[in-house]
Amino acid sequence: MSQPRLLTDRAALLRQRARAEQQGSAMFLHDEALFEVQERLIDVNRSFTSPAIVTGHPDFWAKAFPNARIVPDEDTLALEPEAHDLVIHAMCLHWSNDPVGQLVQCRRALKSDGLFLSAFLGGQTLSELRAALSEAEVSLTAGLSPRVAPMGEIRDLGGLLQRAGLALPVADSSKRTVSYSSPMVLLHDLRAMGEGNVLFDRQKTPPPRDLFARMARIYSDNYSSEPDRVAATFEMIFLTGWAPSETQQKPLQPGSATTRLADFLSTPELGSDAKPVNGDKDQ
């Protein structure tokens, strides 16, 4: 049986991250992710005594969670079974060759009723750059090569939690629009983040002459946010789930509701096919 093609050239990804660390990374996306993760932990209102963080940027996340075990985001995670009450997968799932496998390994590392949190980049990220690069390359070569990583859509990602065996799954997202003085400054920032092109099938020969200059003109013409500025979209996706436990809330069985929504809202019921709350049919 043939193996699926790899998405990410991991050796290139590690080299890129190392260069970013040496040059002083642009970490504003990690700042945003950290803020959102901390907000979710506040909402949970529970003390975690044995956290683990899976990340490709250990210095940043170790500083934020000094008592956590920091685990590299390798294909096989260095996590012991049922050893942690909290596992955070921090800003690296979008580079994984096997996202479901990553979630399954995190699930196995959780104690009963332990919490899993993941923050990573989603499918709307860099939509402007994708469009401008594609238009520029097609005009020069009449073809396309992989230049921006494909990223998951929020409508598809919630199901990954259930496939991994996590209970009470929640998936949500938020978008950030960032302003840059030029598209080339955006590309520089992506390299400083360690988020450049490390696709396994990327073109490894020099790009067509004038590709990026043409991309910059198309980008500036179509995605100006204000005079002499361009907009770049970053979508952050957050996945939350729990290791199953007998103490957790359970969803109601279909048809078990005893109160109609119309009664609860004190409004007239419209139509003859009205159904009980959470029910598939009248009892």
Kindly report the pTM of this predicted structure. Answer: 0.82
Predicted confidence at residue 257, as pLDDT, reads 61
CA–CA separation, 166 vs 54, rounded Å?
A: 17
- Going by the DSSP 8-state scheme, the letter that residue 264 receives in this structure is H
Q: Residue 191 contacts by C-beta under 8 Å, 6 or more apart in sequence?
A: 16, 19, 20
Predicted confidence at residue 145, as pLDDT, reads 73
Residue 214's SS3 state is helix
Residue 133's SS3 state is helix
Q: How far is CA 27 from CA 39, 73, 218, 231, in A?
A: 18, 18, 27, 18
232-252 residues labelled b (16+ CB within 10 A) or e (exposed): bebbbbbbbbbbeeeeeeeee
CA-atom Rg of the chain in angstroms: 22
Predicted confidence at residue 282, as pLDDT, reads 45
Share of the chain above pLDDT 90, in %: 61
- Cβ count within 10 A of residue 117: 23
pLDDT digits (tens, 9 = 90+) for 123-166: 899 999 999 999 999 988 877 677 777 777 777 777 889 899 99
> Could you identify the residue written with the tokens 């980049």?
121
CA–CA separation, 118 vs 110, rounded Å?
A: 14
pLDDT band at residue 84 under the 50/70/90 scheme: very high
CA–CA separation, 2 vs 40, rounded Å?
A: 41
Instruction: Work out the average pLDDT over 23-51.
Output: 90
Domains of the chain (ranges plus CATH)? 10-123+151-181+190-196+233-250 (3.40.50.150), 252-283 (no CATH)
Predicted confidence at residue 273, as pLDDT, reads 53
Predicted confidence at residue 87, as pLDDT, reads 98
pLDDT digits (tens, 9 = 90+) for 139-149: 888 776 777 77
pLDDT digits (tens, 9 = 90+) for 192-229: 898 988 888 777 778 888 999 999 999 999 999 888 89
